[in-house]
A and B are shown apart, each in its own frame.
Chain A
Amino acid sequence: MDPEQVDEFVMGYLKKKGFNNAAKQLQEALHHNNGGTFNSTDYHNDPELTKLIRSFSQSENDPTRYRDGYSKLRSWAYNSLDLYKHELLRVMYPVFIHCYMDLVGKGHTQEARAFFNSFRKDHEMIHLRDLQKLEGVLVPSHLEEMEFARSLRQSKVNIKICQYSYDLLLQYLHRTESTLMLGIINEHINFQVYSGQPNSSSDDIDAVTIVGSFQETADHINQKEIQWGLLEDSLEDRLEKTGSLLSDSEKGQGESKDGDVDDSKKRSNEIGKQGSSLKKLKKDKAGNATAKVARQETSIVSPAPRVKPELALPVMSTDVEESILEDLRNRVQLSSVAMPSVSFYTFVNTHNGLNCASISHDGSLVAGGFSDSSIKVWDMAKIGQAGSGALQGESDTNDQNVGPNGRRNYTLLLGHSGPVYSATFSPPGDFVLSSSADTTIRLWSTQLNANLVCYKGHNYPVWDVQFSPFGHYFASCSHDRTARIWSMDRVQPLRIMAGHLSDVDCVQWHPNCNYIATGSSDKTVRLWDVQTGECVRIFIGHRSMVLSLAMSPDGRYMASGDEDGTIMMWDLSTARCITPLMGHNSCVWSLSYSGEGSLLASGSADCTVKLWDVTSSTKLTKAEEKNGNTNRLRSLRTFPTKSTPVHALRFSRRNLLFAAGALSKPAS
């Protein structure tokens, strides 16, 4: 290269960078050296250096460099060896979004847009939601303003990559002198290089979400210990001790209270027999027997740990306890061969105004929250042919609630001043909680048909509210990115859980009341310790906002449903996704586990109720520990409704499945 040319480049570079003094000095030095070459700087002789200087001197602001660099890298990655391809392609997405943001940051709006549109397709499948967000970023100020973009800019992405792929990548970048790409990769990607063969491409859940800096924190948080076991001395325990569940369902006899003591003796004997004849029974694959055996097996194999409640739980009245015990005794055992019955409550004439629906634990009461701020409660035991509440014979506790209110056959609860987004019944069905866009939560009595308390604390619309499994406490979550724990007797929240990066969309209690789970628009689910208010688990894997949550009755698993129709089943202790359940093609509004946790029901905006076999998965995870293969959970049944999106689902204590939804005219 001509030394003078090099000097020129150096001059241009210094000027551009604003090093005016240096430029002047250089100029002077050049003038001095015009005569002789003795003082020639060594950069003239070093070809590597000259090249580097040249690349710097190329107009730094040239936006086409990004496009060129990226497209070259892209074609190289796509043409790489199949074995390493998926790892290399994983690098492309962070490079892509940072190229785009660099372009935007330098003010090349047009070029940024063109760049974005030409390569958008590559990433749409996995990162569609993120792309939709980023698409709106057009001006440098937006980068500062938008939280998502900011977190992307400030944090590094972790990518696991095998040694050989890493070497390949670096070799390529050095050989082609694509310093720009190299810079972006160095700045924004944190490679975790491991030796050996590349991982299979399916194991890329970590790579799916770019969650910014909290990947590490998530890993850190997920180390914490949680006690997912059920409470000591729960009703189920008591029932199991007496063994009445087994013998009742086996003999099919009604409960006789006077002969209880004798019965329990007999039952204990029977249990002993059953234990010995367990192997024989295992082969028996018919109906109830299977379910029972399976249940026994699990309880034998891994006795669920028992934990103490961290909250002062309300004392249950004996009447309520009796009725719950009776329900549990009469519970139908469900399994993949014994399917539940589904009773469907269809809301008609809602004029698209129904925002939420809720069903009481016994199915006799149905509440609807409407966009006109009203809440309407129907007593199904009194409507029509006595509804299914009467069929079930569970309505004894709720006989006296809805008085004749004019010509209406429902109770109208007015008080909110904005659309009602959620409603929940207390376990005995005597209270209703509702949350609304007016930032308040209201407590209603179904006996008095009146508003009792208004809880103010959230600053933005309250998306969801849920009673705890024992009543008295409840959890709410809001657009203000917090979830809060309340008790009925205080108007101030007891705990505030902050940490989600976007709206908290749904909340659910753990069966032992020590934890709550929250699903958010930041595509994560978190588990919080109620006592300390700390986040104890972060579940990363959803690709869109989480809309529904359910906890398995044994407290070990959690299911979450998202906007795309994916349901994920999580192991609480490891924070790992057992398997995604694919099947729905629209929002999963509601999830519910059956009483003994063998089935999961999901209700979706695609007008179906689906039943999933989740016992197989829990067994498989045990097998998985041994031979390390994952198997999919099975979809057992799909019940299509007549153009009725399914808003709410609930398994009653006797394992009858209730579903509710608003009839909507199919879009024409």
Chain B
Amino acid sequence: MGIVPKETIEVTAQSIGITNLSPEAALMLAPDVEYRVREIMQEAIKCMRHSKRTTLTASDVDGALNLRSLEPSYGFASGGPFRFRKAIGHQDLFYTDDREVDFKDVIESPLPKAPLDAGVVCHWLAIEGVQPAIPENATLEVIRAPADNKIYEHKDGPLIDVRLPVKHVLSRELQLYFQKIAELTVSKSSPALFKKALVSLASDSGLHPLVPYFTNFIADEVSRGLNDFLLLFNLMHVVRSLLQNPHIHIEPYLHQLMPSIVTCLVSRKLGNRFADNHWELRDFTANLVSLICKRFGNTCITLQSRLTKTLVNAFLDPKKALTQHYGAIQGLSALGHTVVRLLILSNLEPYLSLLEPELDAEKQKNQMKSYEAWRVYGALLRAAGLCIHDRLKVFPNLPSPSPSFLHKGKGKIINAEPRKRKLSADSSENQPPHKRLITTDGPDVLRPQDRTGPAPMHVDKPIGNYNLPQNSAQPSSSEQASDGESRNGKEKERGKSRAISMKAILGQIWKDDLDSGRLLVKLQQLYGDRILPFIPSTEMSVFL
């Protein structure tokens, strides 16, 4: 069966007035009609090609008919697509849908707009082989892919390597896990289950694909749930678990996590109820911060400096609430003693004078405020105390200037303090404070070269001399001791080479000792007896 069925021939015959066409004749004619139509189409396609087009138009067919010296088809030149209708009762018979047009309508209708005249516009398709990104050219997306191909082709022949953006596929199990954890964190309904979840978070391997989702989740929830104390606490727990998980490489996501963590540390308001123990949250977060700094301080050089900057800004801004100050102090003290000494103790005196009126029960009527002030005072005391304890601890009892020497002319010393500090900073042995900030963030990360001062002393003195503090506020003291012991060995080896410069070092120690002594005196002056529990008895006897 050809494309032209015999019914078409019959209908065509009828339409031109031949009624007595025999079916046989129609059957014979049909293939011939098809052949002629194909022939015309072949010629029409040639006309189309020579008109530089890829779509066949009625004018091409007219051209083809013209080539065969046939009458062109009339009435199809308007260009619009034809609408074909199926003839009722026939399966494959179609006719064009010609509407009858009323002349009156045509005459009365307004004239159509004159078509625009042809014109030529010129632009640069390429300049020395590079397509400029101008509106006349195809959009860049279209260009990019082939351009990349070209680069590859340039290198190794016809090899084409198109890389599509990789889709992140998350398995169904991981999705469910994430949903469950998120649910637990937000709902706060079953603390026991949440604890288990935290354990799982801290230990399960294979959670890494979820880290970006958790980071996002934490950031979202913290910004949304600042009033929800328990939620914040839960979130921080999640952070800690994630940090603890040895299988997770969290470093790339730290920059996204840190804002949320710092928020939990120094935000003005955490939780909306009085009963919410936001101090606890701040303490917890401060620990987190120190944990992060210890672990990633070496790899992310800017991490700690940025963090301390933020915290110091919060601490030194008198307009900020006391709660914020508290968080900042806790955060800073968690960062290590050097930070405390450099940033808190140097600003201690003016700050305490600011805090004074708040502390005074008579002046500050608001009980809440007074409580907060005392909290801040406590935090400051603890930070300073820990710092001085650490300081004194590393100094052995050497023949040192009598306390009387220190005691005389207290006021003078305090005034001279900043100048002296500068002096010591200038000395070549002492590293500039900002560098210390980076490299010394706690006893664990202290490097040998930072200890140039006290090191030789260890050689001489057995560790037993250390008077370990009984204070519960020093949880890491035993670690420090053992740490110091191991370091001792290392230092021993270096001892010989150092012996030559012993003299210079001794001078430095003297200066450092002097510094500590002054510091202690100053602290005592500021805090009175409250500082004393932090100071080991032997040292106390030396200095005071």
**Is A458 part of the contact surface with B, judged by Cβ < 8 Å?**
no
- Contact assessment for B123 and A341 in the assembled complex, using a CB-CB cutoff below 8 Å: no
A138-151 vs B, Cβ < 8 Å mask (1 yes, 0 no): 11011000000000
A residues less than 8 Å from B157 (CB atoms): 632, 634
Tell whether, in the assembled complex, residue B118 and residue A632 are in contact, meaning their CB atoms are under 8 Å apart. no
Knowing A113-B1, A113-B2, A136-B38, the reply to whether A341 touches B117 (Cβ < 8 A) is: no
Contacts of B23 in A (CB 8 A): none
Once the chains bind, are B122 and A409 in contact (CB under 8 Å)? Answer: no
In the complex, A640 Cα to B67 Cα: how many Å?
36
A647: nearest chain-B partner, CB-CB: B52
Q: Which residue of B lies closest to A464 (CB)?
A: B50
Is A105 among interface residues, defined by CB-CB distance under 8 A? Answer: no
B42 in the interface (beta carbon within 8 A): yes
* Pair B125/A344 contact, Cβ less than 8 Å: yes
Residue contact B125 to A138, C-beta cutoff 8 Å: no
B122 close to A138 (CB less than 8 A): no
The reply to whether the CB of A569 lies closer than 8 angstroms to some CB of chain B is no
Partner of A371, one of B54, B55, B59: B59
A-contact bits for B110-136, CB 8 A (1 contact / 0 none): 000001111111111111111100001
A314 CB → nearest B CB, Å: 30
Contact of B52 among A110, A355, A376 (CB under 8 A): A355
Asked if A338 and B120 sit within 8 Å, CB to CB, the answer is no
Q: How far is it, in angstroms, between the C-alpha of A505 and the C-alpha of B45 when the chains are bound?
A: 12
Contact A640 B142 (CB under 8 A): yes
CB within 8 Å for A348 and B63 given contacts A341-B128, A419-B51: no
A667 and B123 contact, Cβ closer than 8 Å, known pairs A113-B2, A463-B50 = no
Whether B34 lies near A637 (C-beta < 8 A) is: no
> If the complex has contacts A138-B2, A349-B117, are A343 and B124 also in contact, measured as CB distance less than 8 A?
yes
Residue in B closest to A643 when the chains form the complex, CB atoms: B138
Tell yes or no: B137 within 8 A of A by CB. Answer: yes
Does B444 sit at the interface, judged by CB under 8 A? no
Q: Are B32 and A138 in contact (CB under 8 A)?
A: yes
Interface presence of A198 (CB below 8 A)? no
Known contacts: A349-B115, A659-B125. The answer to whether A642 contacts B32 by CB under 8 A is no
What residues of A have a CB within 8 angstroms of the CB of B66 in the complex?
437
Residues of A within 8 A of B51 (CB): 355, 371, 419, 421
Supposing A136-B39, A437-B63, A605-B52 touch, asked if A343 and B122 sit within 8 A by C-beta, the answer is yes
**B-contacting 9-mer, from A258-266, A379-387, A493-501:** A379-387
Which of chain A's residues have a CB closer than 8 A to the CB of B225?
none
**Which residues of A281-306 are within 8 A (CB) of B?**
none
- Identify A109's interface contact among B31, B46, B63, B146, CB under 8 A: B31
Contact between B32 and A348, CB atoms less than 8 A apart: no
- Answer whether A587 and B54 are a contact pair too, CB < 8 Å, given A383-B122, A637-B129: yes
**Known interface pairs A341-B126, A505-B50; A384-B63 also in contact (CB < 8 Å):** no
Q: Which residues of B contact A505 (CB under 8 A)?
A: 46, 49-50
Tell me if B364 is interfacial: C-beta within 8 Å of chain A: no
In the assembled complex, A342 has its CB within 8 A of some CB on chain B: yes
Task: Tell me whether A269 is interfacial, beta carbon within 8 Å.
Answer: no
Of A388, A635, A642, the contact of B138 (CB 8 Å cutoff): A642
Interface centre among B50, B53, B79 (most CB of A within 10 A): B50
A133 beta carbon closer than 8 Å to chain B? yes
Which residues of the other chain, B, contact A142 by a CB distance below 8 angstroms?
A: 32, 35
- The one of B28, B47, B125, B153 in contact with A609, judged by C-beta atoms closer than 8 angstroms, is B125
Q: Given the complex of chains A and B, what is the CA–CA distance between A655 and B59 in angstroms? A: 38
Q: By CB atoms of chain A within 10 A, which of B31, B66, B116, B128 has the most?
A: B31
What's the nearest-Cβ distance from chain A to residue B47, in Å?
8
In angstroms, Cα B31 to Cα A353, docked, is: 35
Q: Do A138 and B35 have beta carbons less than 8 Å apart?
A: yes
Which residues of A are found within 8 Å of B52, using beta-carbon distances?
354-356, 587, 589, 605, 645, 647, 662
- A230 adjacent to chain B (CB < 8 Å): no
Q: Are B1 and A110 in contact (CB under 8 A)?
A: yes
Question: Which residues B42-75 have CB closer than 8 A to chain A?
Answer: 42, 46-47, 49-55, 57, 59, 63, 66-67
> B150 near A636 (CB under 8 angstroms)?
yes
* A349–B49 CB distance below 8 A: no
| A133 to B41 alpha-carbon distance, docked (Å) | 10
Kindly provide the distance from the CB of A374 to the nearest chain B CB, expressed in whole angstroms.
Answer: 9
Specify which of A409, A461, A563, A605 is in contact with B119 (CB 8 Å cutoff).
A409
Partner of A368, one of B28, B39, B118, B121: B118
Residues of B close to A528: CB separation below 8 A: none
Using Cβ atoms and an 8 Å threshold, which residues of chain B touch A378?
119-120
CB closest residue in chain A, given B116: A349
The docked-state distance in angstroms from the alpha carbon of A167 to that of B498 is 97
Q: Does A17 lie at the interface of the complex (its beta carbon under 8 Å from any beta carbon of B)?
A: no
Interface residues on chain A, number (Cβ under 8 Å): 80
Q: B17 near A: Cβ within 8 Å?
A: no
Count of interface residues, chain B, beta-carbon cutoff 8 Å = 52
CB distance from A644 to the nearest CB of B (A): 9
- Give the shortest distance, in Å, between A93 (CB) and chain B (any CB): 21
* Chain A residues within 8 Å of B49, by CB: 505, 545, 547, 563, 587
Q: Is A639 in contact with B126, judged by CB distance below 8 angstroms? A: yes
A347 beta carbon closer than 8 Å to chain B: yes
Interface residues of B in 14-46 (CB under 8 A from A): 28, 31-32, 34-35, 38-39, 42, 46
Q: What CA separation (Å) do A180 and B317 show in the bound complex?
A: 105
B131→A639 contact, CB < 8 A = yes
CB closest residue in chain A, given B117:
A349
Q: Please, which residues of chain A bring their CB within 8 A of the CB of B122?
A: 343-346, 380, 383-384, 387-388
User: Nearest chain A CB to B133's CB is how many angstroms away?
Assistant: 12
Q: Which residues of B contact A639 (CB under 8 A)?
A: 125-126, 131
Whether the pair A383, B120 counts as a contact (CB closer than 8 A) is: yes
Which A residues are CB-close (under 8 A) to B121?
345-346, 348, 384
Determine if A257 is an interface residue (Cβ-Cβ < 8 Å).
no
Distance (whole angstroms) from the CB of B540 to the closest CB of chain A: 78
Q: Which residues of A contact B119 (CB under 8 A)?
A: 347-349, 378, 409-410
Is A366 an interface residue, CB under 8 A from the partner? yes
Whether A638 and B150, one on each chain, are in contact in the complex, defined by CB atoms closer than 8 angstroms, is yes
A338 touches B158 (CB 8 A): no
Closest to A437 in B: B63
Distance A383 CA – B120 CA, assembled complex (angstroms): 9
Give chain A nearest CB distance to B143 CB in angstroms. 6
In the complex, how many angstroms separate the beta carbon of A337 from the nearest chain B beta carbon?
9
Are A139 and B129 closer than 8 Å at their CB atoms?
no
Of A141, A341, A350, the residue contacting B124 (CB under 8 A) is A341
Note all chain B residues with C-beta closer than 8 A to A642: 136-138
Q: Known interface pairs A348-B118, A638-B146. Does A521 touch B46 (Cβ–Cβ under 8 Å)?
A: yes
Partner of A133 from the list B2, B42, B54, B116 (CB cut-off 8 Å) is: B42
Chain B residues whose CB sits within 8 angstroms of the CB of A352 once the complex forms: 53, 57, 79
A338 and B55 within 8 A (CB):
no
Min Cβ gap B139→A in Å is: 8
User: Which residues of B have CB within 8 Å of A338?
Assistant: 128-129
**Complex alpha-carbon distance, A637 and B126, angstroms:** 10
Contacts of A463 in B (CB 8 A): 50
Does any Cβ of B come within 8 Å of A479's Cβ? yes
Among all A-B residue pairs, the 10 with the closest Cβ atoms: A339-B129, A136-B38, A138-B31, A344-B125, A342-B125, A349-B116, A342-B126, A640-B138, A355-B51, A378-B120
14 new A-B contacts at CB < 8 Å, known A139-B32, A349-B117, A356-B52: A138-B31, A338-B128, A342-B126, A349-B116, A351-B115, A355-B51, A408-B117, A461-B47, A461-B50, A479-B46, A505-B46, A611-B129, A637-B129, A641-B125
A-B contact pairs, 27 of them (CB 8 A): A133-B38, A136-B39, A137-B35, A138-B32, A139-B31, A340-B126, A342-B126, A345-B122, A346-B121, A346-B136, A347-B120, A348-B119, A351-B115, A352-B79, A371-B59, A380-B122, A384-B121, A387-B122, A388-B124, A410-B118, A461-B47, A587-B49, A587-B54, A607-B138, A635-B150, A640-B143, A667-B55
Residues of B that sit less than 8 Å from A by CB: 1-2, 28, 31-32, 34-35, 38-39, 42, 46-47, 49-55, 57, 59, 63, 66-67, 79, 115-131, 136-138, 142-143, 146, 150, 153, 157-158
